[in-house]
Amino acid sequence: MRNRRDFLQLLPLSLGMLSLLPEMAEKYSPFEPTPRPEGPPLRVAFLGLGSYANRVAEAIKDSERVKITGLISGTPSKIETWKNKYQVSDSSCYHYGNFDAIKNNPDIDAVYICTPNALHKEQTLRVAAAGKHVICEKPIAINVAEAKEMIKACEKAGVKFLVGYRMHFEAKTQEIVRMRMAGDFGKLVFFQGLCGFKIGDPNQWRLNKELAGGGAMMDIGIYAINGARYMIGEDPIWVTAQETKTDPVKFKEGVDETIQFQMGFPNGAVASCLSTYNTSHLDRFLLTGHGGFAELQPATGYGPIKGKSHKGEFTQPHVTHQLRQMEEMAEIILRDKTPFLPVDGKEGLKDMIIIEAIFNAVKSGDKIQITWK
């Protein structure tokens, strides 16, 4: 997979390299239509049949590039409903105790893991051991050590490990990255990422540290982290962070309600971000440089995404995010397509490293340096 970011871009671009940026942006343009697939579709089993899995399944039900051919759930009634709705055979339906048997199922190419965060590691290891490609929702794990173990397991098994970064395939998001690659913003100075909503049911798994690994940061703060990285085009070298908690009953120890965090990048740009479960209508990205700006609001919702730059409004058509993601992932898995923005396990690991640094910054009150190796 093409690596679009060096870990440390400490030296400024020469004038010669700047002159090549428009050519590079054109070469990697994400907007060329994907041709109709020549081969078979990607055959996917869903592991965990909750609300988000249902959203993805609805998006791809009529796709020619992706087909639902397997179901894995601990709830028999969900299996029955999905089996009838998507015409999945009984022989491709499993529960959490026996899904290792997918190893012997030739009708399944990949498994999309849509379960709580704390279950991702074990399930990824089992899917990889069964010889099936892994698509895992973000965050890929609850800590860095787990993420590294998952990557190694997939590499050892010779299967691809992809992460559900749907925004990496979204047209307006990609346009901002293309503009940055072309030098349209000049020297980058500042990124702002605001991600928040007021969470409801206090008993849901997202507010359970054992299942979620945290609170708002793991669920939506990760969008600001990831957005800063692909918009700036670098990985941060330091973070600072501050936590605010107004309801310690709902947001127990280890479950963050609101975290403000800052990141510094090798090129001198800084990011100021907010992740919260206590304020609605926060979904905005802003990137500014000496030569221009770009803004998305909403920036990460299910769409349509809206935005503008110093050149005017973005007009790229809206495509259901989950459909675009899954059809592009079919090309990555079956035909080794290089995505415009990376969506592999190593991309997920980077976000886990930053999240861990943010949690450490909250606890210590210190600026945490990040060394990329």
Residues contacting 38, CB < 8 A, separation 6+: none
C-alpha–C-alpha distance, residues 301 and 307, integer Å: 13
C-alpha–C-alpha distance, residues 257 and 277, integer Å: 5
C-alpha–C-alpha distance, residues 38 and 334, integer Å: 11
Catalytic residue among 67, 121, 138, 160: 138
- Listed in sequence order, the DSSP H helices in 188-320 are 209-212, 216, 222-232
Closest to 241 in 3D by CA, of 231, 256, 255 = 256
Catalytic residue among 223, 230, 277, 350: 223
Closest to 317 in 3D by CA, of 335, 305, 333, 331 = 305
Contact 1, 160 (CB under 8 A): no
C-alpha–C-alpha distance, residues 131 and 157, integer Å: 6
Residues contacting 133, CB < 8 A, separation 6+: 109, 110, 111, 159, 160, 161, 162, 333
Find the radius of gyration of the CA atoms of the chain: 20
Closest to 234 in 3D by CA, of 261, 265, 209 = 265
Contact 299, 305 (CB under 8 A): yes
Tokens of 129: 């051991």
CA-angle at 129, arms to 4 and 133, nearest 5° = 40
SS (H, E, C) 256-286: CCEEEEEEECCCCCEEEEEEECCCCCEEEEE
**CB half-sphere exposure, 142, CA atoms < 13 A:** 19
Residue 311: strand, helix, or coil: coil
Closest to 139 in 3D by CA, of 253, 200, 219 = 219
Identify whether 138 is a catalytic site residue. yes
Give the residue numbers marked as catalytic: 138, 223
